[in-house]
C-alpha cells in the first residue's frame, strides 16, 4: 500500500504533467495564429511583399517537416519531457527574437520557434499514449482544445494589443512567449520524478521511421491526410485577414472573425477524439470532416454578409475534426508508443512540407491573379482530397512495422 506521502506526491506530479500538456499545447499554434491579423501592421513598416509575408507562416511548416525526423532520436537520448523542456525554452527565445528588428530577424525567430513547435507536434501523441494509455481520447481532446483555444485567442487579441497605447505589433507577438516560459517552469518541477524513474519512453526509437512504413498504403494516407488538413488552416491563418479585408471588414474585425473560425474547432477537437476512439473505424467521420471544410470554404468565398460567421464556424468544425483525427490516427493505426512516434514523425515531416506550400503559394497566386478567388478554389479542391484520404486512413487496420 502506498503511503499518504507517496500518493500525494504521485498526484502532484500527475497534476504537473496535465498542466504541462495544456501549456505545451497552448504554444503550438498561438505563435503562428497571432501573425495573420498583424500583417497589415508590419507589412508596410518592413516593406515586405506577399511572398515574404507568406514565408512567415511557411517557415514554421518547413521547420516542422525538416526537423521532425530528428525529434525521436533526441527524445531517445534525453527523454520526452526533458526534450520538451528544451524545446519550450527555444520557443520562448524564437518568439522574442522574431519581433526585435527587420525581416531577417523576423524570419530567424520564426525558424527557431518552428523547430521548437516541431518537437511538441511529434512528442505529444507519444507522451499522451505512454502516460495515459486508458484515456487517450480524452487526453487528446484536452490537448487539442488547449491548442485551439489559445490559437483563437491569439488571433482575436493580437490587433487590440498592437493598437493599445504604448504598444505595437512587436509586443503583440512577444506576449505569447509567456506561456512557453511557464511551460519550462512546470516541466522543470517534474525533473525530480523524471530523473528518479529514468523513464525514457523512446529508448529504442529509431531516428528514422521503419522502412516498411513507407510501403504502407495506410501510412501514406495518414501522411497526406495530415499534410492537407494542415495546408488549409495555415493558409487561412496567413491570408484569411487579407481575404476578409477585401470583403470590406476592418483589420480588427478580420482578427475576431479568424477567432470565430477557430471557435468552431474547440468543441470538435475535444469531442472528435473521444468519438473516434469508440468507433470501429473512422472512415465516415474522416470523409465528412473534409466535406465540412469544402462547404465552409465555399460559403466564405461566396458571401460578404454576417452569414459568413456561419461558414467560418463550419470551416472551423472541419479543421478541428480533421486535426483531431490526424492525431488519433498516429495512435489508432499503431500498436506501441514507439510505432506511434515513427508514424507521427513520417506524417508530420512529409505532411508539413506539403502544408508549407500553402501560405507562400496562395499568396503568390493571389498577387499574380489580383484576387483571392483562385486560392479559395485551390483550398476547396484540397478539402475534397482530405475527404477521400480519410476513407483510407480511417480503416480499422494496424500498420505492420518491420523489425
pLDDT digits (tens, 9 = 90+) for 118-131: 899 888 877 887 88
Nearest CA-CA partner of 117 in 7, 230, 266, 271? 230
Specify the pLDDT at position 318.
93
At the fourth CATH level, the homologous superfamily of domain 4-393 is MFS general substrate transporter like domains (1.20.1250.20)
- Residues 363 and 53: beta-carbon distance below 8 Å: yes
pLDDT of residue 201 exceeding 50, the answer is no
Sign of the dihedral defined by the CA atoms of residues 13, 15, 17, 20, in that order: negative
Question: What percentage of the chain has pLDDT greater than the value 90?
Answer: 34
CA dist 362 and 51 (Å) reads 9
pLDDT band at 138 (very low <50, low <70, confident <90, very high): confident
- The residue with greater pLDDT, 303 or 220, is 220
pLDDT band at 402 (very low <50, low <70, confident <90, very high): low
| Mean pLDDT score of the chain | 85
CA dist 252 and 258 (Å) reads 10
- Supply the DSSP symbol for 304: -
Tell me the mean pLDDT in the region 211-227.
89
Specify the pLDDT at position 199.
47
Specify the pLDDT at position 202.
43
Specify the pLDDT at position 124.
86
First to last CA, the chain: 39
pLDDT band at 4 (very low <50, low <70, confident <90, very high): low
Helix (H) or strand (E) holding 198: none
pLDDT digits (tens, 9 = 90+) for 83-106: 999 999 999 999 999 888 788 888
CA dist 341 and 14 (Å) reads 22
pLDDT digits (tens, 9 = 90+) for 280-290: 889 999 999 99
Residues in the chain: 403
pLDDT digits (tens, 9 = 90+) for 352-387: 889 988 888 898 898 889 889 999 999 999 999 999
Specify the pLDDT at position 376.
95
Question: What percentage of the chain has pLDDT greater than the value 70?
Answer: 95
Highest mean pLDDT out of 44-48, 95-99, 123-127, 265-269: 95-99
CA dist 61 and 57 (Å) reads 7
Specify the pLDDT at position 185.
96
pLDDT digits (tens, 9 = 90+) for 145-200: 888 889 888 888 888 898 888 888 889 999 999 999 999 999 999 988 877 765 44
Task: Using alpha carbons, list the distances in angstroms from residue 266 to 34, 175, 185, 240, 262.
Answer: 17, 22, 26, 19, 7
Specify the pLDDT at position 74.
85
Specify the pLDDT at position 204.
44
Sign of the dihedral defined by the CA atoms of residues 85, 10, 147, 217, in that order: positive
Specify the pLDDT at position 315.
94
pLDDT digits (tens, 9 = 90+) for 226-262: 999 999 998 988 888 889 988 888 888 888 888 888 7
Specify the pLDDT at position 210.
65
Nearest CA-CA partner of 115 in 74, 54, 161, 148? 74
pLDDT of residue 403 exceeding 70, the answer is no
Amino acid at each position: 500500500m502506498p503511503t499518504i506521502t507517496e500518493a500525494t506526491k504521485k498526484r502532484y506530479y500527475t497534476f504537473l504533467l496535465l498542466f504541462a500538456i495544456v501549456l505545451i499545447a497552448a504554444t503550438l499554434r498561438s505563435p503562428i495564429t497571432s501573425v495573420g491579423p498583424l500583417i497589415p501592421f508590419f507589412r508596410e513598416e518592413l516593406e515586405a511583399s506577399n511572398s515574404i509575408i507568406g514565408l512567415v507562416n511557411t517557415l514554421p511548416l518547413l521547420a516542422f517537416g525538416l526537423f521532425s525526423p530528428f525529434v525521436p532520436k533526441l527524445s531517445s537520448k534525453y527523454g520526452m519531457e526533458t526534450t520538451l523542456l528544451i524545446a519550450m525554452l527555444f520557443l520562448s527565445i524564437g518568439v522574442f527574437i522574431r519581433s526585435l528588428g527587420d525581416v531577417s530577424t523576423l524570419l530567424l525567430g520564426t525558424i527557431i520557434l518552428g523547430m521548437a513547435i516541431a518537437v511538441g507536434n511529434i512528442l505529444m501523441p507519444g507522451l499522451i499514449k505512454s502516460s495515459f494509455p486508458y484515456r487517450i481520447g480524452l487526453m487528446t481532446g484536452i490537448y487539442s482544445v488547449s491548442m485551439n483555444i489559445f490559437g483563437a485567442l491569439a488571433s482575436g487579441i493580437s490587433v487590440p494589443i498592437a493598437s493599445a497605447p504604448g504598444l505595437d505589433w512587436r509586443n503583440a507577438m512577444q506576449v505569447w512567449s509567456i506561456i512557453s516560459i511557464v511551460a519550462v517552469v512546470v516541466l522543470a518541477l517534474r525533473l525530480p520524478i523524471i530523473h528518479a524513474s529514468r523513464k525514457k519512453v523512446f529508448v529504442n526509437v529509431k531516428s528514422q521511421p521503419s522502412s516498411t512504413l513507407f510501403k504502407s498504403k495506410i501510412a501514406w494516407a495518414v501522411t497526406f491526410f495530415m499534410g492537407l488538413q494542415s495546408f488549409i488552416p495555415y493558409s487561412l491563418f496567413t491570408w484569411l485577414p487579407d481575404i476578409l479585408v477585401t470583403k470590406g471588414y476592418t483589420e480588427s474585425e478580420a482578427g475576431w472573425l479568424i477567432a470565430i473560425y477557430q471557435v468552431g474547432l474547440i468543441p470538435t477537437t475535444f469531442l472528435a477524439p473521444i468519438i473516434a476512439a469508440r468507433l470501429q473505424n473512422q472512415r465516415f467521420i474522416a470523409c465528412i470532416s473534409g466535406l465540412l471544410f469544402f462547404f465552409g470554404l465555399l460559403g466564405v468565398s461566396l458571401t460578404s454578409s454576417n452569414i459568413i460567421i456561419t461558414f467560418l464556424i463550419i470551416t472551423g468544425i472541419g479543421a478541428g475534426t480533421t486535426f483531431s483525427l490526424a492525431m488519433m490516427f498516429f495512435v489508432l493505426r499503431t500498436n506501441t508508443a514507439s510505432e506511434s512516434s515513427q508514424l507521427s514523425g513520417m506524417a508530420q515531416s512529409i505532411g508539413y512540407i506539403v502544408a508549407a506550400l500553402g501560405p507562400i503559394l496562395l499568396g503568390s497566386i493571389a498577387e499574380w491573379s489580383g484576387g483571392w478567388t483562385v486560392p479559395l478554389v485551390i483550398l476547396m479542391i484540397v478539402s475534397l482530397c482530405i475527404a477521400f484520404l480519410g476513407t483510407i486512413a480511417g480503416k480499422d487496420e494496424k500498420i505492420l512495422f518491420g523489425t
